[in-house]
Chain A
Amino acid sequence: MEYLATVTILIAIYVILAASYNLVIGYGGLATVAHPIFFAIGAYVTGLLAIHAGLPPIVCVALGAVAAMVASVLLAASSLRVSGDYLLIASLGFQLGLLQLIRNLEITGGPGGLSNIPSTIVGAARTPTFLAITIGLAVVSVLGIRAIVRGPYGRAITAMRDEELAFTALGRNAMSMKIVIFAVGCGVAGMAGGVYAFYFQYVSPEQFEVLQSAQILTMVVLGGMATAYGPVVGAVLLLAIPQAITFLDLPQNVMAPLQGIIFTVLVLLFLFLRPTGIMGDSDNKPRARASEAA
């Protein structure tokens, strides 16, 4: 039961991550890959504040989200100046560089990670409370993002993706819109990081590597880019299926790469046969074509 609850909490957190990543790459059309680092910034800032500053948990998480947002604005502002494509490489470099820094600083616990993040709730109520919080946040994130992209704002984002030059010539500041979308997406990821830090009470650099980038990417692509519920489907699949496979009772050194193979093959198949993902329209209806415009 406890195990199931933990898996669900993890799924909920990844739903938040996938949904916010989808906002950035699916709706915003911004090619980036560094989402896990903003997750990490949120987690580490929250953890450090909890350990050293003794602030109330909600404040720690909020500050973690703000830290992630500020970092994302700096990254976007400097790399979008060059070109939209540059953000991809810049974000990769940012992620790896920051991870390297984290690995070498003592205050972050180095490669061993940051442990002993204080408990917020103790006793039997802990897991159910966290379950409620994470699921609640996941619902809010998904519906919130959906609300944003349905209205005029979503229309503006789509237009920007379709024809950025015409969009700009109609008086829209595309650059600031991209930065805002990026900041919101990364801020939400930071918030997820804060909650993650409090539940698991341990964060370490290898939880935020390129592997995780690929995982979140897989969730969004499989689920369907630029769809409201695609990220949910993607997160559930990517986290639940491996759990199911464990019942096959294969040795660990076969299981891990096997899971990897299954998912990479799925992504590749979807990429070529059904780029709109599971939740996208299969006949490539215009709304779903957002994934190609990306």
Chain B
Amino acid sequence: MYEPVILAQIFWTGVATSAPHVLMTLGFALTLKVTGLWNFAQAGFMAIAFYTMFFALNGLDLPIFVAVLLAIGTTIAASLATEVYGLQVLRERQSGNLMFFIFTLILSQFIMYVITLIFGTEPQTLFKSILSPVQIVGGVAVSDWDLLGVGLMIGGMAALWLFMAFTKEGQFLTAVSDNAKLAELYGISARRSYRVTAVIASLFIVASMYLVGSHGGVVPNSPLELILGAVLGTLLGGIGRVFAAAAASIFLALIQSFSILVLASRWQNLLLYGFLFIAIVVFPRGVRLPKFRFALAGR
């Protein structure tokens, strides 16, 4: 039962299926880090991303490339509109956390209701088939989807890291996340950084939803479940530590994957929440493993 090949398969599949969650977590955790907000509106943006692609591919018969670009466009538009006309207004009013939460949650709900009205509640997939070509590598089944997922995940993390460490905009993001008022004194516009963050998060969202939508059925309410995975990863990684959050997501996916060996599948989800409880009560500031601290331009 515990042959190396099987373990390797479980490992690979675990990592591959974690890819969409990692991408989502990156966007979510980055937003939390820079803006200080648990942005539940991203659930709504996820729905917009998926259904734009779905409509483009199946309703308008556009090629994949165009569909993805369209999704990037609509998601960024929604994200920026929310930031500029919603979040910034609340910030100027010095509204409390509760207001932000109400706004982002209800906005997501609004988006999901509209989408339900237009698209119905049937599960939809981006493509007719959710199966992708599989190769056997060293006894392990590796599908094209797996490769795409892992590629996007690694590419996304690398791109984000490079961006944060080496570009001016990226460094501004770090400055604003540390101390927005201080950053303003140095001429860095916090508002601009928030918008940049919104755009980056949108890209991660589209990538994530592409993976999700090509691998299984999506209903208008799916994003709410998905975003909870992002919340969990962010909590375990520690608020403000984006790459630790990503690592936490991979870790959680692997735990779920390997737990197949010992648990019935119906307990899988429960495992996740068990972790959440533990995280909240024992590690409210995130798990700190000194060796595994990923440098994020200094944090």
Contacts and interface: CB of A to CB of B under 8 A. Distances in A.
Interface of A: 25, 29, 31, 33, 78-79, 81-82, 84-86, 88-90, 92-94, 96-97, 100-101, 104, 210, 214, 217-218, 221, 253-254, 256-258, 260-261, 264-265, 267-268, 271-272, 275, 291-294
B280 A101 contact: no
10 contacts: A31-B98, A81-B284, A89-B38, A101-B270, A214-B105, A214-B106, A253-B120, A257-B114, A264-B107, A294-B96
Given A78-B280, A88-B101, A97-B274, A264 B110 contact: yes
A86 B284 contact: yes
User: Which secondary structure dominates where chain B touches chain A?
Assistant: helix
What are the 9 A-B residue pairs with the smallest beta carbon separation, nearest first? A97-B273, A260-B113, A264-B110, A31-B98, A257-B116, A257-B117, A82-B284, A93-B276, A294-B98
A82 B106 contact: no
Contacts of A272: 86, 89
A285 B235 CA distance: 38
Given A96-B228, A260-B109, 20 more contacts: A25-B98, A31-B98, A82-B284, A88-B38, A89-B38, A92-B228, A93-B231, A93-B232, A93-B235, A93-B273, A93-B276, A93-B279, A217-B106, A253-B120, A260-B116, A264-B106, A271-B106, A272-B89, A292-B95, A294-B98
B166 interface: no
B1 to A, nearest CB: 24
Contacts, number: 117
B285 interface: yes
A290 to B, nearest CB: 10
B273 to A, nearest CB: 3
A146 B95 CA distance: 25
Contacts of A31: 96-98, 101
Nearest to A218: B106
B93 interface: yes
Contacts of B235: 89, 93
B95 A254 contact: no
B211 to A, nearest CB: 23
Interface in B230-264: 231-232, 235
A292 B102 CA distance: 12
Contacts of B120: 253
